[in-house]
């Protein structure tokens, strides 16, 4: 099952539950998304609300927290001090840590899921990437 959460760039709000994605008229491009925010159902317009859909990786971090695209994780893999990276998804199926785990190369999250902890995401706490690099 593919799950998403959504970031509303206009309202600067994250919806942790996306209940439906409505397709627009062109090429199956989403036009709106139904979400639950503060226990209320809302519909966000993809374009006007500057909505970003963030896919669930089907993995959980060392503390059991779900890992989504755009999450910022901390890893102590091969480091004396924890290292911070961003979760990205490539080719629809590859769940990888963006840059700099030991070699500067991307690594599969599934290979290191027991060594990473979600500490934020690029939308609500982008400073985590700047401060800890």
How many structural domains are present in the chain?
Answer: 2
pLDDT of residue 81: 62
- Per-residue pLDDT band at 123 (split at 50, 70, 90): very high
**Residue 108 lies in domain:** 57-132
The mean pLDDT of 23-42, rounded to a whole number, is 82
Q: Does 82 share its domain with 62?
A: yes
Q: Which residues contact 3 (CB under 8 A, 6 or more apart)?
A: 18, 55, 56
Q: Does 46 share its domain with 64?
A: no
What does the mean pLDDT of the chain come to? 81
Instruction: Please report the sign of the dihedral spanned by the C-alpha atoms of residue 57, residue 60, residue 62, residue 65.
Output: positive
Q: Does 76 share its domain with 32?
A: no
Q: Does 45 share its domain with 61?
A: no
pLDDT in tens, 36-93: 998 999 999 999 999 999 999 888 999 999 999 999 988 877 665 667 888 888 776 5
Q: Does 26 share its domain with 75?
A: no
pTM: 0.82
């Amino acid at each position: 099952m593919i799950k998403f959460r959504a970031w509303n760039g206009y309202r600067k709000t994250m919806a942790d539950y996306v209940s439906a994605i409505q397709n627009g008229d062109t090429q199956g491009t989403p036009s709106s998304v139904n979400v639950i925010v503060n226990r209320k159902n809302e519909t966000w317009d993809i374009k006007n609300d500057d909505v970003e859909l963030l896919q669930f990786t089907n993995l959980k971090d060392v503390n059991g927290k779900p890992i989504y695209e755009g999450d910022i994780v901390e890893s102590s893999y091969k480091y004396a001090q924890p290292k911070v990276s961003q979760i990205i998804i490539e080719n629809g199926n590859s769940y990888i840590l963006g840059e700099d785990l030991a070699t500067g190369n991307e690594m599969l999250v599934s290979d290191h899921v027991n060594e990473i902890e979600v500490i934020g995401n690029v939308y609500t706490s982008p400073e985590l990437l700047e401060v800890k690099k």
